[in-house]
Structure 1
Amino acid sequence: MEYEFRRNTLTGTLLANFSMDHEVLGRWFAEELGDNDTFFQELIDAIAKISKGQMNQWRHIGSDLSIELDNEQVRVFANVLGMDEEHEFDEQMDYYDAESESFCGLEDFEQALMSWHEFVNESK
């Protein structure tokens, strides 16, 4: 999983770009986490508890995107996923959902999270 963090020089907006199949992580970092130190610390604490076996899973429902952690992986997904469980797509329709849902390993996510936090603090 590759990623790049930037700040828009005109607007100051934080930007995160992740490799293919992980695009939604970029949106989550920029839109849901941003420069929120309290939320960052909550995530670090949850990862530590999960890694130590003190907690099985953790979930945070954001405004547009949510995140779930367990001892193996992280799932980031759009809140609209799963709301219309009865709707099924035509089998011949090519449905691309990498911009709506992504999975990555817990360790990879923690590394990206720490890099993001460092980036945000350096660019303040």
Structure 2
Amino acid sequence: MEYEFRRNTLTGTVLATFSMDHEALGFWFAEELGEDTDKYVEICQVIAQLQSSRLPQWRWVGKALSIELDGEQARVFANELENGEELEFEESLSLYDGESEAFCGLEDFYDVLVKWREFLDETR
């Protein structure tokens, strides 16, 4: 999983770009987590609890994207995926959902989370 963090020098907004099949992670970091230090600390604490098996799973519902964590993986997904509706396509067509849902290992997610915080601290 490759990623890049950038800050627009004119507007100050942050952007996270992730490799194919992980784009939803980029949207989540930039749009949902952003520069919220309290949420960052909470998620780090949750990950520690998940890794020590004191918590089976955790979910945070954001404005457009949500995140689910368990002891092994992180899942970021568009809230509209949870409405239960299934889209049907012709056999030759398929839906690309890399921008609406992404999975990665919990340790990898934690590593990116730490890098995100370091990026924000360096670019303020």
Alignment of 1:1-124 (within 5 A): 1-85=1-85, 87-92=86-91, 93-124=93-124
Distance, in Å, in 1 between the alignment partners of 2:57 and 2:89 is 33
Question: What letter matches 1:49 in structure 2?
Answer: Q
Q: What TM-score, normalized to structure 2?
A: 0.95
Q: What TM-score, normalized to structure 1?
A: 0.95
Distance, in Å, in 2 between the alignment partners of 1:6 and 1:25 is 14
**Can you give the 5+ residue segments of structure 2 that lack an aligned partner in the other structure?**
none
Higher share of residues assigned helix = 2
Compute the RMSD of aligned alpha carbons: 1.0
User: Taking every aligned residue pair, what percent have the same amino acid on both sides?
Assistant: 57
Distance, in Å, in 2 between the alignment partners of 1:103 and 1:32 is 16
> Which of structure 1's runs of 4+ aligned residues deviate more than 6 A?
none
Larger mean CA deviation between 44-53 and 9-18 belongs to 9-18
Question: What letter matches 2:55 in structure 1?
Answer: M
Question: What letter matches 1:89 in structure 2?
Answer: E
